[in-house]
A and B are shown apart, each in its own frame.
Chain A
Amino acid sequence: MKGSYNMQTPGGHRRPSGSQERPRDTRYTLRRLWGYLCRHRWMLLAAAALALASNLLALLGPMLSGLAIDAIGTVPGQVDFPRVFFYAGWMLAFYLLSALLGYLLSLLMIRLSQRVVRQMRGDLFSHLMDLPVRYFDSHQTGDIVSRISYDIDTVNTSLSSDLLQIGTSAITVVGSFGMMLAISPALLAVFAVTVPLSILWTRYMTRKVRPLFSRRSAELGALGGLSEEAVSGLRTVKAYSGEEAVTARFDAQDKRALDAQYAADYYGTMTGPSVNFINNLSLTLVSVLGATLFLFGKITLGNLSSFVLYSRKFSGPINEIANIASDLQSAFAAAERVFRLIDEPSEPADAPDALPAGAVRGEVELDRVSFGYDPTAPVLKDFSLRAPPGSLVAIVGPTGAGKTTVINLLMRFYDPQSGEIRLDGRETRRITRDSLRRCYTLVLQDTWLFSGTIAENIAYARPDATREEVVAAAKAAHIHRFISQLPQGYDTPLTGDEAAISRGQKQMLTIARAMLLQSNMLILDEATSNVDTRTERRIQGAMRQLMEGRTCFVIAHRLSTIQNADVILVVKDGRVVEQGNHASLLQRGGAYAELYWAQFQ
C-alpha cells in the first residue's frame, strides 16, 4: 500500500498520478477481499459446512456402487439381491441428498457473492463520488466504467464459482485419495506419474499463457477505445469523407486484437485436451495395473470399479488447477484495480477548524494565488482578484490563459499551491467544502444532462421543487416555449445525443437548472456560448434579477456578453494584465480594446 501513492507536495497537492500502476502484492488484495467476505462469515461457514456435507455424500456414491457390483458378483444365478437392493436404495438416497445440498449450496453462494459484490460496487461508487476532480481529469471515463462493471463482474464470477470449486476440490481430492488408499495402495502408484505431470504442465501453461492474456485484454481495450472515438465522431469522419480511412484504422487494430486473441487461444485451447489426456493416461495405467492386480487376486472387481471412479474424481480437480489458477489470476488483477480506485485518496478532509459558510455577503478575494495542474508548469502565477459583494466580475483572455482554472480554484475542485482564496475575509480552506460549493451556482459550457425527464433535469439541484417552480425557471431561461412544444412536454425523457435538441437549447436547460438554485454567488463559464445574443441578453436580465445583490463571475469570449460587468479582468499567461470596466479598458487601448475591436470590426 505504501509507496503506491504519489508524494504530497507542501501545498497539500498530489502530483498527477500518471498511468503506470505498480502491481501490488497478492496478499494485500487477498486481505481486502477477505475483509468483504468476513462481513458474511456466517454465510461463509454455512457454505463450507454444506460443501463438506454434499461432497462427502458424493464421495460415498462410487463406494456404494462398488459394493453393489460386488453384491452382484460374477456368477449368474448367484446374485445377492437383498444386498443389491440395499445398496441401490442407499445410492438413490445419497444422490438425492447430494443434489439437494448442492442446490442449497449454490443458492447460498449466489447470495453471498451478490452481497459482497453489491457492497463492493457501492463502496467503489461512493468513493468515486468523493474523489477530487483531478482524478476525473486524469482518468478516462471508459477506464473508470470498466472497473465498476467489468472488473467487479470478474471478481463476482470468481467468488461464486472458483471459491466454491477450490473448497469442493480440496474435499474431493483429500476424500478420494483416502478412499483409494483404503481400496488399494498399490494402484495409487499410478498417481506418482500423473500428478507431477499435471503440476508441471500447469506451471508451464500459466507462465506461457498469462502474458498472452494480458496482451489480449490490452488490445481489446484499444479496439474499444478506437470504436468509441470513431463512432462518437462519425459526423466529422463523414464531413472529411474519412469513412474508408477510419475503417482501415479499425481493421488494423482489429487484426492486432484478433491476433492477440488467437495467440492466447493457441495455448489456451491446449488446456482442455491436455487435462483429458492426463485423465485418460491415468485410466490406462489404472486399467493395466488394476487388471494385473485382479489377475493375482489382489483386488475385487467392485473395488476396481470404485477405484476407477475415484481416480476420475481425484484427477479432475488436480487437472482443473490450471484453469482455476488462471481464473484466480484475472480475478486478483481485477480486484486489485477495484481496490486501487478505492484506495485513491479522496478529497482531503475539511480542516479540523473548518466551519460551514453560513450566510455570506459574497466578497471573494484571490490573493497572490499560484497554481498549476502539474506543479512544475504553473497556469496561474501570483494571481490576485477582488470581487466586492454583489459585483459582476468578467474574466476574458486568450485560449489557454487560465480562465477556467480560476473557476476550478473558486469551487475548490483544486487547491492552489500558494496564496489564499478568501470568502467574506475567511480563508476558504477554513470553510467546509460542501457549504462553500453550495454558496455558488455553477453553469458550464459543457452541458450535462442525465437520462431522466426534462423536469427531473431542471429540478436536479432541488428535487423537492414543485412543477410551478420548474416551469418558472424554464420560463426565465427562455426554454419554456420549446419544452411545451414537445409531445410529452416537461415529462419528455432525455436519452443522450438527441439531434432534435440543439446545443443552445441544452445550455438553456442547464441554465434553467441553475435558476432554481438560491445561492449567493453565480459562476457562468461560457454558459451561454451557444445561445443567440438576443436570448442571451434576456436570460442575463432574468439572472441578474434573480442574482440581485449577489456576486457573479462570468467567463465569455463574446465580449458583448460582459460589457455591463463591474470589473473586467483580462488574463494572459496566468496573470491579470488589465483590470477595469468596459469603458475604462476601451479608453486605455490595451489588450482588451484590441480584443474588442477585433470582434466588432
Chain B
Amino acid sequence: MRTVLSYLRPSAKKMAWGLTIKFLGTVMDLLLPWILAFVIDTVVPRRSLAQIALWGGVMLLCSVLAVVGNIAANRSAARIARDASERIRHDLFSQTAHLSCRQIDGFTVPSLEARLTTDTYNVHQMLNMMQRVGVRAPILLLGGVAVTLTLEPVLTLVLLSVLPLIALVVFFVSRKGVGLFSDMQRSVDALVRTVREDVTGIRIIKALSRTEGEKTRFDGVNRAVSRRETAASTTMALSNPAINFFLGAGLTGVILVGAFRVDSGLTQPGTILAFLSYFTIILGAMLSITRVFVMYSKGAASAARIQEVLAAKGEPETLAAAAPDRGAARLSFEGVTFSYGGGEPAVEDISFSVGPGQTLGIIGATGSGKSTLCNLMLRFYTPDKGVIRLDGRDIRAIPLKELRSRFGVVFQNDLLFGRTVAENIDFDRGIAPDRAEAAAGWAQADFVAGLEGGFAHPLAARGTDLSGGQRQRPAAAGGQGPGRRPRHPHPRRRLLRPGLPDRR
C-alpha cells in the first residue's frame, strides 16, 4: 500500500488544495441544518419576514458553495487519480516487461495480466474514491458531531453513545466480509479459468463428446461461486440494518432526554429538530464509511499484488566486463548446467563452440533440453553452473539489449500483435519498408500479397485469422533483424512447408 501511495507524492500540492476545497464544500453541507435550527429558534420568534428571507439567502449561498466546491474537488481527485494511475501502470508494465523469464514463470502469465488490468483498475478506483468519500464521510461524521456538540452537548452525548456499537458492527462485519470476499474472488478465478480452458479446447471437447461432462464441471464451479457470494453478501448485508437501528435508537434517546431538557428549560425544540437533520447526515456518513472500508480493503489487496511485481528484482544484472578471451569462438558453452525449478537439471554440463559463419544444428529427443539451450544463450535464464561466451565475452557481462540484438530469433509460437503485417515484421525497430518486404520474401510470406491491403493488412490479435503455417511467416521475417550476426534459426521451423530453400 505504501508504495502505491507514494505515487501520489508528485500530486501532493494539488491534492492538498483539492482536499481543502472538499473540506470547505463539505462544511457548507454541514452548516445548513444548523442554520435551519437557528432560523426556527432565533429568527422566527423575531417575527421578521425580511430576516427569514435573509437567512434563506445565506442557506442558498451555502448550497451553491457546497456544490461548486465539491464538484471542483471531485474533478481534482479524478485528475490526481488519473495521473497516479498513469505512473503506476507505466512502472508496472515496464517492470513486467523487464521481469526475467524465471519470474514470469513464478507469477504466471494470467496473474500478471490480472495485475496489469483488474488490480490497477481497483487501485485507480480506490485512489479516486478515497479522495472523495474518504474525505467527505469522516468530515461529515466529525463535523456533524462537532456542530451538534455546540448546539447541545448533552444530547450529542446521547447520540454518540450508540457510535461505539456501530463501530463495532462495522468493524466485525467488514473484517469477516473481506475474508469472505477474497474466498469468493478465488472461486470466480476458477470459473473464469474453466471458461477460458473450455473455449480454447472446444475442438477436443467436441471431438471427445465431452460437452455434457464440461457442463457438469462448470455447474460445480458455478455453484461454488454462488455459495461463496451468498455467504459474503449475507454478512455484508448485516451492517446497514444494524446501523439504521442503532441510530434510530440513539434518536429515540435524543427525544427522551430532550424532553427532560426542554422541561427544565435547558434546551429548545428547534435544537431537537436540527438534531434530526444531523441524524440523517451522520447516518449517511456512517454508511459511506462502511463503503470506504470495503473499497479500501479491495484496493489494498490489489495494491499488495502490484507491489509484489514492482518489488521483484527484474532481469539479472550485467556483470562488470572482464577482459574478453581473444581469439575465442563466436559462441561457446562451457560446462553449462541448468534446471528450471531447482529439480532435475534440464541440461547438464554442456560444452560446445561455434565459429563465425558456422552453422550449429541441435537435435535430440523430446524434452532433452534443445529449447533450454536457446533460452540460455538469449539469457532468458541464467545457468546454475558454467559460462556462455559470445565472442569470448561472458554473456552475463553483456547488456541484455546488446546481447539479444545480436541474435535473430524465430520461435515456433511467435507473438503476432493485432497490428498490420508490416508493423509485425518491424516490431518497432525502425526497419525500412523495403527491407521488411525483402525479409517477408525470404520467409516465403508471399500470401501477404493476397491479403486485403497487403503489408498494411491489419491482423487479428495473435494472428488468429491466418492458418497455422501462415502465422509463422511474418514472425520468421521479423527474425531477420537489422545487423544481426549469429543467426539462430530455431529448430522450430518445421511447421513451415518442407522445401523452404535453405538460406545459408
Give the docked Cα–Cα distance between A359 and B407 (Å). Answer: 55
B51 to A, closest residue via Cβ: A291
Q: Which residues of A contact B364 (CB under 8 A)?
A: 532
Kindly identify, within residues 474 to 525 of chain A, every residue whose CB is under 8 Å from any CB belonging to chain B: 482, 485, 487, 495-505, 507-508, 510, 517
Please name 14 pairs of A and B residues whose Cβ atoms are closer than 8 Å in the assembled complex, sorted by A.
A65-B255, A69-B272, A72-B263, A92-B252, A126-B215, A239-B407, A240-B481, A265-B75, A273-B70, A280-B29, A287-B39, A304-B273, A437-B207, A532-B363
Which residues in B have their C-beta under 8 angstroms from that of A535? 365-366
Residues of B within 8 A of A247 (CB): 90, 93-94, 97
List residues of chain A with CB within 8 A of the CB of B77.
269
> In this assembly, does A30 line the interface, its C-beta being within 8 Å of a C-beta of chain B?
no
Contact of B494 among A88, A140, A258, A529 (CB under 8 A): A529
B109 close to A231 (CB less than 8 A): yes
Which residues of the other chain, B, contact A273 by a CB distance below 8 angstroms?
A: 25, 66-67, 70-71, 74
Known contacts A125-B218, A451-B193; can you find 7 more A-B pairs with CB under 8 A? A62-B276, A72-B263, A87-B255, A220-B117, A269-B77, A277-B66, A287-B59
Bound state CA distance, A148 and B197, in angstroms?
A: 13
A261:B233 contact, CB within 8 angstroms: no
Q: Which one, A61, A229, A503, A534, contacts B412 given CB within 8 A?
A: A503
Q: Are B341 and A73 closer than 8 Å at their CB atoms? A: no
Asked if B300 is at the interface (CB within 8 A of a chain A CB), the reply is no
- B244 partner residues in chain A, CB cutoff 8 A: 95, 98-99, 102
Contacts of A469 in B (CB 8 A): none
Interface size on A, residues (CB 8 A): 166
Report if A149-B467 is in contact (Cβ < 8 Å); known contacts: A129-B211, A460-B210, A485-B344: no
Instruction: Say whether A173 faces chain B, with CB atoms less than 8 Å apart.
Output: no
Query: Is there an interface contact between B63 and A461, defined as CB atoms closer than 8 Å?
Result: no
**Complex partner residue of A266 from B78, B132, B262, B501, CB under 8 angstroms:** B78
Residue from B40, B60, B78 within 8 A of A284 (CB atoms): B60
In the complex, what distance in Å separates the CA atom of A288 from the CA atom of B417? Answer: 65
Q: Does A398 contact B (CB under 8 A)?
A: yes
Number of interface residues of B (CB under 8 A): 166
Any A CB within 8 A of the CB of B19: no
Identify which of residues 32-71 in chain B touch chain A, using a CB-to-CB cut-off of 8 Å.
32-33, 35-36, 39-40, 43-44, 47, 49, 52-53, 55-56, 59-60, 62-64, 66-67, 70-71
Measured CA separation A114–B264 after assembly (Å): 55
Across the interface, do B60 and A281 meet the contact criterion of CB distance under 8 Å?
yes
Q: Which residues of B contact A259 (CB under 8 A)?
A: 82
| Majority DSSP secondary structure for residues of A touching B | helix
B66 touches A269 (CB 8 A): no
Report the Cα distance A594→B499, complex, angstroms.
8
Q: What are the interface flags for A123-153 relative to B under an 8 Å C-beta threshold, 1 for contact and 0 otherwise?
A: 0011011100100110011001100110000
**Residue A526, interface by CB 8 Å:** yes
Name the residue of chain A whose CB is nearest to the CB of B38: A287
Residues in A neighbouring B499, C-beta threshold 8 A: 594-595, 598-599
- In the bound complex, CA of A143 to CA of B350 (Å): 45
Is B105 at the interface (CB under 8 A from chain A)?
yes
CA distance in complex: A544, B344 (Å)? 33
Taking CB atoms, residues of chain B closer than 8 Å to A98 are 244-245, 248
Interface segment among A21-29, A321-329, A439-447: the answer is A439-447
Residue interface mask A35-68, B partner, CB < 8 A = 1:
0000000000000000000000000011001001
B3 in contact (CB, < 8 A): no
Set B55, B210, B405: member contacting A241, Cβ < 8 A: B405
CB of B31, distance to nearest CB on chain A (Å):
10
Cβ of A18 < 8 Å from any Cβ of B? no
Q: For chain B residues 249-276, which have a beta carbon within 8 Å of chain A?
A: 249, 251-252, 255-256, 258-260, 262-265, 268-270, 272-273, 276
- Asked if A10 is at the interface of the complex by the 8 Å CB criterion, the answer is no
Pick from A95, A148, A223, A234: contact of B245, CB under 8 Å:
A95
Q: Which of A78-86, A177-185, A360-368, A419-427 is the interface stretch?
A: A78-86
- Tell me the minimal C-beta distance from B388 to chain A in angstroms: 16
Once A283-B32, A500-B340 are accepted as A-B contacts, the answer to whether A99 and B242 lie under 8 Å apart by CB is: yes
Q: Which of A103-111, A330-338, A381-389, A576-584 contacts B (4 or more CB under 8 A)?
A: A103-111
State which of B53, B96, B365, B428 has its C-beta within 8 Å of the C-beta of A231.
Answer: B96
Cα distance A534–B237 in the bound complex, in angstroms: 64
B23 to chain A, nearest CB (A): 14
The stretch of A1-9, A207-215, A305-313, A545-553 that contacts the partner chain: A305-313
User: Shortest CB–CB separation between residue A211 and chain B, in angstroms?
Assistant: 18
The reply on A238 being an interface residue by CB < 8 A is yes
- Measured between beta carbons, the chain B residues less than 8 angstroms from A295 are 44, 47, 49, 52
Say yes or no: B62 contacts A227, CB within 8 Å. no
Q: Please give me the residue from chain B that is nearest to A530 by CB atom.
A: B366
> Quick check: A95 and B494 within 8 Å, CB to CB?
no
Pair A442/B366 contact, Cβ less than 8 Å: no
Residue of A nearest to B263 (CB): A79
From B55, B62, B124, B272, give the contact of A72 (CB < 8 A). B272
From A113, which residue of chain B is reached at the shortest CB distance? Answer: B233
Contact assessment for A502 and B470 in the assembled complex, using a CB-CB cutoff below 8 Å: no
Q: Is the CB of A74 within 8 A of B447?
A: no
B9 on the A face (CB < 8 A) = no
Q: Do A122 and B218 form a contact, CB below 8 Å, given A84-B256, A254-B89?
A: yes
What B residues does A294 contact at CB under 8 A?
Answer: 40, 44
Q: Could you say which residues of chain B place their CB within 8 Å of the CB of A287?
A: 35-36, 39-40, 55-56, 59
The answer, yes or no, to whether A236 is at the interface (CB within 8 Å) is yes
Q: Which of B97, B218, B223 has the most CB of A within 10 A?
A: B97
Residues of B within 8 A of A305 (CB): 272-273, 276
Q: Mostly helix, strand, loop or mixed at chain B's interface?
A: helix
| 10 A-B pairs with the lowest CB-CB distances in the bound complex, closest first | A233-B415, A399-B469, A598-B499, A95-B248, A504-B366, A245-B428, A76-B265, A269-B74, A273-B70, A288-B56
- Chain B residues within 8 Å of A32, by CB: none
Instruction: List chain B residues, Cβ under 8 A from A240.
Output: 404, 409, 427, 429, 478, 481
The interface residues of chain B lying within 8 Å CB-to-CB of A270 are: 71, 74
Which of B149-157, B198-206, B323-331, B390-398 faces chain A?
B198-206
Residues from chain A with Cβ under 8 Å of B207 in the complex? 411, 437, 440-442
- Point out the residue from A126, A227, A495, A526 that lies within 8 Å of B116, measured CB to CB: A227
Is the beta-carbon distance between A445 and B468 smaller than 8 angstroms? yes
Contact A148 B269 (CB under 8 A): no
- Asked if A598 and B109 sit within 8 Å, CB to CB, the answer is no
Q: Whole-angstrom distance between the alpha carbons of A254 and B117 in the complex?
A: 10
In the complex formed, the residue of A with least CB distance to B43 is A291
* Cβ distance B317 to chain A, nearest Cβ, rounded Å: 16
Within 8 A of A (CB), among B467-482: 467-470, 473, 475, 478, 481
Q: Are A235 and B428 neighbours in the complex by a CB distance under 8 Å? A: no
Tell me the nearest residue of chain A to B346, going by C-beta: A500
B234 is an interface residue with CB less than 8 A from chain A: yes
- Quick check: is A166 within 8 A (CB to CB) of the other chain? no
Q: Are A91 and B255 in contact (CB under 8 A)?
A: yes
Write the chain A residue with the least CB distance to B254: A65
Residues from chain A with a CB closer than 8 A to the CB of B192 are 145, 148-149
Contacting residue for B230 out of A74, A110, A440, CB 8 A: A110
Minimum CB distance partner of B266 in chain A: A76
Q: Is the CB of B361 closer than 8 A to any CB of chain A? A: no
- Which residues in B have their C-beta under 8 angstroms from that of A532? 363-366, 368
The reply on B461 being an interface residue by CB < 8 A is yes
Give the docked Cα–Cα distance between A467 and B240 (Å): 54
Say yes or no: is A343 at the interface (Cβ < 8 Å to chain B): no
Complex interface: chain A residues within 8 A of B497 (CB): 398-399, 557, 595
Q: Which of B204, B211, B380, B461 has the most CB of A within 10 A?
A: B204
The docked-state distance in angstroms from the alpha carbon of A33 to that of B376 is: 56
Q: Cβ of B82 and Cβ of A258 under 8 Å apart?
A: yes
User: Which residue of A has the minimal Cβ distance to B44?
Assistant: A291
Contact of A463 among B109, B213, B256, B344 (CB under 8 A): B213
B344 to chain A: closest residue by CB: A485
B 64-122 contacts with A by CB, 8 A: 64, 66-67, 70-71, 74-75, 77-79, 82, 85-86, 89-90, 93-94, 96-99, 101, 104-105, 108-110, 112-113, 116-117, 121
